[in-house]
Every structure is written in C-alpha cells, then in structure tokens.
Amino acid sequence: MQNNKDSFKFIGKDRRVYDQPIEGKPIGYFQDAMIRFRKNKANVTAAIILAILVLLSIFVPIVTNKNYTVIEEQLTYLPPRIPILEKFGIFNGNSNVVLKPVNLDTIDPETNLGIPDDYDMNYIVPGTLKNYYAPSLDTGPTSLGGEVIFRMSGNATNYTLQTPTVYQFENGTEVTINVDELENAEGATFRLYIILRNQVHLVGEITEVGEHTFTVSGILGSGRVNSELFLDIQSENKNAGIVVSELKAIKNSEEMFNLKAYDLFSGFSIVAETGGGGNILRINNETLYAAFEYRAYEALFSSRVITIGGNEYNDLLTKNPDMTPQADPNNPGQLIFPEGYVLKRMISTSSVVNPDTQEVYSTYTVEVDYAKYMGYSSIPYFLFGTDASGKDLFALTWVGLRTSLIIGIIVSFINITFGVVYGAISGYYGGKIDIVMERITEVVGRIPWLVTLSIVTALIGTSVISLILILIISGWIGVASVTRTQFYRYKNREYVLASRTMGARDARLIFRHILPNGVGTIITSSILMIPGVIFSEASISYLGFGIGHGSVIDFFGLKLSGVSLGVLLSDGQTALMDFPHLTIYPAIVVSILMITFNMFGNGLRDAFNPSLRGVE
C-alpha cells in the first residue's frame, strides 16, 4: 500500500510543550523499607503481638489489684481460674489432687474411702474421690503391709533385738512368727527367747521359711512374769538376716500382741551386737493414696474460724461502723454480725493481763468471710493461678517479662553498639588490623561460659550488674562477625570506590555507604539477640546466679522488681509435676516472644535490604 503525504497531518503544531513536573513525593530509604514491611501481613502481625506483649508488661503490674509482692501462704498453689471459661468446666479453679497419703482415721466405713489431711470432704467434687494402694518408701504409720529385714552387717557374729514393750509371759503362751525369707542362713541360727530372773528361756529356733508357732514352757514358779521377747541371730557368715512380716502372741486364747511391719520396724531395737553391727529395713510396704478433683477456691475463700488479736478485731469494727453485733439466740455467749461483712460470728474471747503494765491483751475466735478478710469483695480470679508464695502468677509473668525485656534491651544495645563498631573497623580496614582484632575476638570467644560466670560472680557477687557483665563479655562477638562480613562484601563495590575517589572520609564511607547496605542482616541478628539474651538470663537464673528474688533493678530512676521470666521458670521446675501451671504460662510467653521476635527480625531484614528497594 502506498502512503500519500496528504494522509498525514500535524497535530498541536501551534501548541508549546513544556517539561511536566513529577507528581508525588520522593520516597526515602527508611520510608521505602517501612512500606515493604507493612505489606507483609506476617510482619505486621508479629509487630502487633510484640507491641501487645510490651504493653502488657508495662500496664498489667500497674493496674492489677492482685498481690505479686507480698508473701501470702494462704494463697499458695491456687490453680488458674478464668471467667466465662469456668462455666464450660475448664480453668474453673479446681485442682486435680493425686498421690496424697490418706489419713486412715478419715476412712468412711460405708464407702471405704478416706481423704488426706488438710482437705475438706465438702469441697471434693462428687464422684471424683478414689483410693488406691501404691508402693511407698515411707516407713511411717500411714504405710501399710510389707516386711522387715533384720540383717547383720560388717563382721558381726551376734545380733540381738528386743521388743519395745514388757509383756507378761507364762507357760502355755503361744508365739507365732511369719518368716518370708532367710538370708545367708548357712551356719546361722535364728532364735526367739525371753529372759526371766536372769535366765534365758528359749522360745523356739527358726530353721526354715514359713509360719512358726512356739509354746512358752519351762518357766518356774506360778503366775505371770514380766519380760521382753528377743530375736537373736548368730552366724560366722556375714550378712545373715531374717525377713519377718508378722510376730504375735496368744495367751489364754486372747491376743497379747500382734506386731505388723510398721510395729516391727519402729519397735524393735538393737540391744547387743558382737564384732560388727546390724540394721533394720522395711520393704515391700504400700501407702493408701487418694486422687480427686478439689474446689480449691471455694475451700479457701469460704467461711472459716480463725483467731485474731484485739487490735485487729477493733479495727474491723471501726472500719465497718454498721457491722453491729447482736447476741446469738441459738448460742449463748456468742455474737452474730449482719450479712455481707467480714465478720460473721464471734465465738469466744480470751484475755491475758500483763502483770507489769496491767495492760489487757485479748484474742477473739471468730468466723469470717475469708474472701473479704483477705481483701476481696468476692472470690477472686487468678488467671494464671498463684505460685509457692501465694503471689498472682498472671501479674508476676508480666512483671517478669518487663524485667527480661529491660535486661534484653540493655544487653543487646551494648552488644550491638560495640559489635557494629568493632566489626566495621575490622572489616573496613582489613589487613593487619583485621588479623589482630580477629585474634582478640577468638581469645574472648574461647573463654568457657561457666568460667566467665564463676569469675564475675566471685568478684562482684550475684546482681543485675554481674548478670549484664556476664552477658556482654562475649555477647558482642556475633554482631561483630556479621558486621565484618558485610563490610568485606560491600567495601570494594563501585559506588564505594567512586565515593572514596571523590574524597569521602572513612567515617562517611562506613556509616553512609557500606553500613546501610549490610544493615538488613545486622538488624536480623540484632533483633534475635533480645530473645537470646532472655534465654541466657533464664539459664543463669536457673543455676542460681541470676538476679533472683528480692533484687531491684534501677532503670533510669524507676525501680523495678527483680523477678524475671527466667526466675519464674526456675521456680516452676521445682514443682513441675504437681503444679505445671507455674512453668506452662511463663514458657508460653517466652515461646511467643521468641516467635514474634524471629518474625519481626526477618521482616526488618527484608525491609532494609537495599536490593529490594522499590519492589512490591
């Protein structure tokens, strides 16, 4: 097709065209980084969670009305109790009690079930109480059954034991002994005898395993004679022994005594031994244990009877002027108080007069609403439960997080600042300077951690200062190594050489041209240092060299409790099996902190990566 020039025409030939201004604002390096950071939902989520944790660590200790500073033994080891969830049967404040020895006096003859001491049957969840026998190392009276070993030891050739009580033996008394085992019996003799009027009367000799019944005879004179029963072992062989499960005596068809394992173990005493010694051991015994679900909050905060001093009694009346007592018509001598107050009943009173000052000191036995007595308007909620000191674990956890974060930030700031400067100098100048600085780094890094811990603790003791010193002595090495690597990577790039050619000083080259290009990797390692420091602090606290209970951190004039997550985890380890909530909640917070810091650090690394600038 042939084009005709008439087919073309000029457009806008009479219009002047000028340069158009660029619309929009220039985007700086950090602004571009934040734009990319916000576009990643995982980064934003991690930042939000991290911010929430920080805010909780600041404000929860301030606004909570629960105790986390004063030891209250009455509130120890309460389980978690959370509103709303308790209606669904979870986190309802009930504790699962297991492996508690039963007080045998509490066994109900109808159900044949008993409960441990310090528990009230009224607060056991119906249908949850179970009793069971289990092997036990307890040798006390609550331990049942089993056997007792009477055994020679060392080079003993004679070993005599005596019953604890004087009995009236007479001719015809039957003594029965149940023998379950004879140890090293070859050449050994096992005898039962009594001593009457300085004469030994043999009751019987034991030659084999089984139940043996012997009849006392040969006692001269009439009537009953007071005496003890002796068990005698003679042997030239070492470690001869006899295992006994029962020893009893019947006199005139009536049982004179019946010694089971506990009585044999606690009652028999060694009265003679030749050439060595012997011992008494109890084995194969069992203990009756109870397991049940217990309404711990109701049991603790219900009405109870306590004894208070006269000053406290008068203070309660003064603070509650409407709490006017009245005589109890059903219990003469007692007073009752209106409902809704701390005091419910005054049961009795007693007074003592100081003979020197003639002052009268009174005490009152009263029934109180224990929740109100402890300062709560109703039964409280401890969201994480309480610890061994009765302190609110929810508040303690955020106090501990605050302390751990402060230590982590201080230590990380020191390590990052020193590590970046040290690594920048080493990587930028290289050569002999780099070699010398690397050898110093290797020497410091080779010092065993426990040696550093021991030296610092020996010099200045355990404190916040010593903890920070332990964590910064070699903590900067990782940041310095990363920074050095980044400087070796970028220092010979064209833009750096061009800037040097144009006369840029070393400081400008380091902090303006090289460091920003490696800041992504440096930031990642630096951010992850904070949870690393928290874990290190937890390890040191677990070993007993941390800040510990009772320490105070002075943070720019603000004095903070020395309780940290590491201290809480260390405390929880001692009661992990019985009270797992002491460890679970601080561990969850540490885990969330580690995950969010990891995500947050990775997000910052990508955001500050110069090669991704302008990338959506």
CATH superfamily placement of domain 393-612: MetI-like (1.10.3720.10)
What pLDDT is stored for residue 129 in this prediction? 94
Residues in CB range of 233: below 8 A, 6 or more apart: 150, 152, 158, 159, 160, 188, 189, 190, 240, 241, 242, 278
Lowest mean pLDDT, pick from 326-330, 514-518, 523-527? 523-527
pLDDT tens per residue, range 529-572: 877 787 787 777 767 676 766 566 666 666 666 688 888 887 88
What pLDDT is stored for residue 178 in this prediction? 93
Residues 328-354 have a mean pLDDT of: 86
Inter-residue contact 604 to 523 (CB < 8 Å): yes
Copy the structure tokens of residue 344: 């419910």
Q: What are phi and psi of 102, to 5 degrees?
A: -80, 135
Inter-residue contact 585 to 384 (CB < 8 Å): yes
Residues in CB range of 308: below 8 A, 6 or more apart: 363, 364, 366
Residue 602 has pLDDT above 90, yes or no: no
Strand partners, 215: 174
- The number of residues in the chain equals 616
Confidence grade of residue 125 (pLDDT, cut at 50, 70, 90): very high
Separation of CA 556 from chain center: 31
Residues 33-57 have a mean pLDDT of: 85
pLDDT tens per residue, range 153-186: 877 777 787 876 778 888 888 999 999 999 888 8
Give the residue range(s) of CATH 2.60.120 domains in the chain: 146-284
Q: Between residues 437 and 161, which one has the greater pLDDT? A: 437
Residues 11-34 have a mean pLDDT of: 68
Enter the CATH code of domain 146-284.
2.60.120
* Long-range contacts (CB closer than 8 Å, 24 or more residues apart) made by 469-475: 470/540, 470/545, 471/407, 471/411, 471/415, 471/533, 471/536, 471/537, 472/411, 472/414, 472/415, 472/418, 473/444, 473/447, 474/444, 474/445, 474/447, 474/449, 475/411, 475/414, 475/415, 475/529, 475/533
pLDDT tens per residue, range 298-327: 999 988 888 888 888 888 888 888 888 888
Residue 229 has pLDDT above 80, yes or no: yes
Residues 476-491 have a mean pLDDT of: 86
Q: What percent of the chain shows pLDDT beyond 70?
A: 89
* C-alpha dist (Å) from residue 532 to 68, 407, 444, 536, 590: 26, 11, 19, 6, 11
As a whole number of angstroms, the distance between CA 218 and CA 216 comes to 7
Give me the chain's average pLDDT, please.
83
Confidence grade of residue 205 (pLDDT, cut at 50, 70, 90): very high
Q: What is the DSSP string of 528-575?
A: THHHHHHHHHHHHHHTT-SS-TT-EEEETTEEEE---HHHHHHHHHTT
Inter-residue contact 225 to 177 (CB < 8 Å): no
Residues 418-431 have a mean pLDDT of: 89
Q: What is the 3-state secondary structure (H, E, C) of 190-232?
A: EEEEEEECCEEEEEEEECCCEEEEEECCCCCCCCCEEECEEEE
pLDDT tens per residue, range 128-141: 999 999 888 888 88
Q: Between residues 172 and 7, which one has the greater pLDDT? A: 172
Residue 79 has pLDDT above 90, yes or no: yes
Give the residue range(s) of CATH 1.10.3720.10 domains in the chain: 393-612
What pLDDT is stored for residue 439 in this prediction? 92
Residue 234 has pLDDT above 70, yes or no: yes
For 7, which DSSP code?
Answer: G
Inter-residue contact 59 to 401 (CB < 8 Å): no
What pLDDT is stored for residue 71 in this prediction? 73
Q: Between residues 154 and 423, which one has the greater pLDDT? A: 423
Residue 223 has pLDDT above 60, yes or no: no
What pLDDT is stored for residue 208 in this prediction? 92
Q: Between residues 259 and 37, which one has the greater pLDDT? A: 259
Amino acid at 560: L
Closest by Cα among 501, 478, 487 to 411: 478
Other CB atoms closer than 10 Å to residue 140's CB: what's the count? 13
pLDDT tens per residue, range 450-479: 788 888 888 877 777 788 888 888 888 888
Residue 411 has pLDDT above 60, yes or no: yes
Q: What is the dihedral of CA 460, 464, 470, 473, to 10 degrees?
A: -100
Separation of CA 84 from chain center: 27
What pLDDT is stored for residue 574 in this prediction? 77
Confidence grade of residue 195 (pLDDT, cut at 50, 70, 90): confident
As a whole number of angstroms, the distance between CA 599 and CA 604 comes to 9
Residue 191 has pLDDT above 60, yes or no: yes
Other CB atoms closer than 10 Å to residue 475's CB: what's the count? 21
What pLDDT is stored for residue 560 in this prediction? 63
What pLDDT is stored for residue 144 in this prediction? 84
